[in-house]
């Protein structure tokens, strides 16, 4: 009973949105929270084919901070678990490269004053604050010891960043001997820092998630945007590869997508409260979604889930209403070109829908601002295609240079 009481208290520590947004002015910190999102990722469940488990092992995961502060809190999640998640020990320290921690910076995390915690199935947990000065554009290492066998069912599947696993409890060791490299983020969903300011959430799909960017280089467009902001605001990446506005994953029976579609995550309309409104210090959200709503039906989703431009516009309007009700400013991003893509998304009908949605985003005035990602990436000679120098090779995902162009297209005055 004491454990259940403690967990009830811990769940109250999950960050909630602050009530009013910054409507204007030049101060980046005006109206800011004492806690700001420095890093984040959006969790999903796993397909039946993913049978990963951990037992008596330490996960050492590396995250790149968008802003700095004097204290750190970590959010861990068992939201897609079906059994309790026992965390025997958790620690943070500044990254020294690879799986190593800078000596002298390692700090133990506590949860309600205790060094271990059991997180029920379906729940997240937030650590107590720990004193550790961290800088913008730097790596933080989060180590979690899992003593009891647990299925790794709460993940972010495409981090474009290596993590590590080692035998036994080595959470406190500056250098470890990994037994494997992790290809996913497991159970770790957020890092916040103290020091004032506000948070920008990049809410999107694989293009926001960083698909096809250089692994470990932090060249996703939200990373580059954070560097443009120079730590004046935190940037949280809430992109999920394969994510749709209107539908959860639904691969046709017998289709190969049954082995991976669960990683596409809950629909944007379903996950908005968790991944945007609950971020500490959130003031702005940039939405870039819709390409998978057009491309998935008939490829990795049933044709019956085909959507129209008006369906996508309606979904945007629902997000706008929810953002404004929470006092956030919401910025619309135009859908980027994908003619000739290797996934089978392109068709004249899908292109016409993309153009209609983009016209509405640019001209309706319903968002609080617009980022014209389409204009930043399209080829001058064929605007339905990505520019060759920005194309990763699949004709849908931008490469590192394309990501930089996307970040440069964000008018910084919209985020003040």
Report the alpha-carbon distance of residue 272 to residue 320 in Å, rounded: 11
Round to whole Å and give the CA distance between 76 and 97: 23
HSE, CB side, 13 Å, CA atoms: give it for residue 296: 29
176 and 236 share one domain: no
For 408, the token pair is 């440069």
pLDDT of residue 33: 52
The 10s digit of each residue's pLDDT in 139-196 is 999 999 999 999 999 999 999 999 999 999 999 999 999 999 999 999 999 999 998 7
* Rounded Cα gap, residues 292 and 289, in angstroms: 8
Residue 72's domain spans which residues? 2-15+45-191
Task: Please compute the mean of the pLDDT values over residues 371-399 and round it to a whole number.
Answer: 98
Task: Say what the pTM is.
Answer: 0.91
Residue 87 has pLDDT above 70, yes or no: yes
Angle at alpha carbon of residue 344, lines to 343 and 346, rounded to 5°: 115
- Per-residue pLDDT at 31 exceeds 60: no
Token pair for 358: 């983009």
- Interior angle at CA 295, CA 291 and CA 299, nearest 5: 155
Q: What is the pLDDT of residue 17?
A: 35
**Residue 279: CATH number of its domain:** 3.40.50.1110
Closest CA to 192 of 396, 11, 14: 14
Q: Is residue 29 part of a domain?
A: no
* Residue whose C-alpha is closest to residue 337's, from 389, 289, 396: 396
Are residues 161 and 214 both part of a single domain? no
pLDDT band at residue 8 using 50, 70 and 90 as cut-offs: very low
Distance, in Å, from the CA atom of 393 to the CA atom of 260, rounded to the nearest integer, reads 21
Question: Is the Cβ–Cβ distance between 243 and 205 less than 8 Å?
Answer: yes
Note whether 209 and 169 are same-domain residues: no
Q: At what angle do helices 309-325 and 348-363 cross, to 10 degrees?
A: 30
Looking at the structure, do residues 127 and 180 belong to the same domain, yes or no?
Answer: yes
Residue 71 Cα to chain centre, angstroms: 21
Instruction: Quote the pLDDT of residue 197.
Output: 87
Same domain, 166 and 209: no
Do 287 and 163 have their domain in common? no
Q: Residue 11: pLDDT above 90? A: no
Q: What is the tally of structural domains in the chain? A: 2
Question: Is residue 378 in a domain?
Answer: yes
**In the numeric block, which tokens belong to residue 194?**
């103290």
Q: Residue ranges of the alpha helices (H) in 180-252? A: 206-209, 221-229
Reading the block at residue 133, the tokens are 């000065």
pLDDT band at 337 (very low <50, low <70, confident <90, very high): very high
The answer to whether 357 and 335 are in contact (CB under 8 A) is yes
* Residue 13 burial class via C-beta count within 10 angstroms: exposed 0-12, middle 13-18, buried 19 and up: middle
Query: Alpha-carbon distance 67 to 195, whole Å?
Result: 10
Final residue in a domain of this structure, among 191, 223, 241: 191
Instruction: Report, as an integer, the average pLDDT of 286-291.
Output: 98
Q: Classify residue 88: in a domain, yes or no.
A: yes
Note the pLDDT of residue 48.
Answer: 96
Q: End of a domain among 169, 191, 213?
A: 191
Mean pLDDT, the chain, rounded, equals 92
Q: Which residues contact 2 (CB under 8 A, 6 or more apart)?
A: none
Residue 93 confidence (pLDDT) above 80 = yes
Q: Looking at 173, 191, 209, which one is the last position of a domain? A: 191
Domain-embedded: residue 240: yes
Secondary structure element (H or E) that encloses residue 82, with its range: none
Angle at 352 between CA 256 and CA 285, to 5 degrees: 75
20: pLDDT strictly greater than 70: no
Residue 187 and residue 205 in one domain: no
Residues 367 and 274 in one domain: yes
Whether residue 187 sits in one domain with residue 134? yes
* C-alpha torsion angle, residues 106, 111, 116, 120 (rounded to 10): -130
Sequence length of the chain is: 416
Would 21 be classed as within a structural domain? no
Grouping H, G, I as helix, E, B as strand and the rest as coil, residue 55 is coil
Flag whether pLDDT at 343 surpasses 50.
yes
As a whole number of angstroms, the distance between CA 159 and CA 134 comes to 21
Q: Are residues 275 and 180 in the same domain?
A: no
Q: What is the pLDDT of residue 314?
A: 98
CA-to-CA distance for 82 and 194, rounded, in angstroms?
A: 33
Residue 2, pLDDT above cutoff 90: no
- Kindly state whether residue 207 falls inside one of the protein's structural domains: yes
Task: Indicate whether 130 and 6 sit together in one domain.
Answer: yes
Phi, psi of 261 (to 5 degrees): -65, -30
User: Does a structural domain hold residue 22?
Assistant: no
Q: Does 202 map to a domain?
A: yes
**Helix, strand, coil percent values for the chain (each to nearest 5):** 25, 30, 45
CA distance 280 to 112: 19
Residues 107 and 86: their CA atoms lie apart, in Å, by: 19
Kindly state whether residues 368 and 243 are assigned to the same domain: yes
The percent of residues in the chain predicted with pLDDT above 90, rounded, is 91
Q: What pLDDT is recorded for position 196?
A: 74
């Amino acid at each position: 009973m004491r454990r259940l009481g403690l967990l009830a208290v811990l769940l109250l520590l999950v960050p909630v949105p602050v009530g009013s947004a910054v409507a204007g002015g030049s101060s980046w910190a005006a109206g800011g929270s004492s806690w700001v999102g420095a890093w984040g990722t959006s969790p999903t469940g796993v397909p039946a084919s993913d049978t990963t488990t951990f037992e008596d092992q330490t996960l050492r995961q590396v995250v790149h901070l968008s802003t700095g502060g004097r204290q750190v809190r970590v959010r861990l999640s068992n939201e897609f678990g079906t059994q309790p998640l026992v965390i025997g020990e958790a620690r943070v320290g500044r990254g020294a490269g690879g799986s190593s921690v800078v000596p002298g910076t390692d700090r133990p995390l506590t949860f309600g004053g205790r060094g271990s915690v059991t997180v029920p199935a379906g729940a997240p947990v937030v650590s107590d604050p720990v004193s550790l000065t961290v800088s913008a554009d730097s790596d933080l290492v989060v180590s979690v010891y899992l003593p009891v066998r647990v299925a790794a069912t709460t993940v972010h599947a495409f981090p474009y960043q290596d993590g590590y696993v080692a035998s036994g409890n080595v959470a406190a060791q500056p250098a470890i001997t990994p037994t494997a490299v992790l290809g996913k983020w497991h159970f770790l969903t957020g890092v916040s820092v103290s020091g004032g300011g506000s948070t920008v959430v990049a809410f999107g799909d694989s293009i926001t998630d960083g698909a096809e960017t250089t692994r470990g280089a932090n060249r996703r467009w939200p990373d580059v945007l954070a560097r443009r902001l120079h730590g004046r605001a935190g940037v949280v990446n809430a992109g999920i590869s394969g994510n749709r506005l209107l539908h959860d994953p639904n691969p046709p029976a017998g289709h190969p997508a049954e082995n991976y579609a669960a990683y596409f995550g809950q629909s944007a309309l379903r996950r908005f409260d968790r991944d945007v409104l609950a971020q500490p210090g959130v003031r702005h959200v940039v939405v870039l979604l819709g390409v998978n709503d057009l491309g998935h039906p008939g490829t990795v989703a049933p044709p019956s889930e085909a959507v129209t431009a008006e369906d996508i516009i309606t979904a945007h309007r629902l997000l706008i209403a929810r953002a404004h009700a929470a006092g956030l400013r919401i910025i619309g991003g135009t859908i980027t070109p994908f003619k000739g893509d290797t996934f089978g998304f392109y068709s004249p009908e899908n292109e016409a829908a993309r153009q209609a949605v983009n016209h509405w985003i640019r001209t309706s005035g319903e968002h609080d601002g617009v980022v014209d990602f389409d204009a930043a990436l399209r080829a001058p000679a064929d605007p339905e295609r990505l520019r060759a120098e920005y194309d990763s090779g699949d004709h849908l995902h931008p490469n590192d240079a394309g990501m930089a162009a996307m970040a440069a297209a964000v008018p910084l005055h919209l985020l003040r």
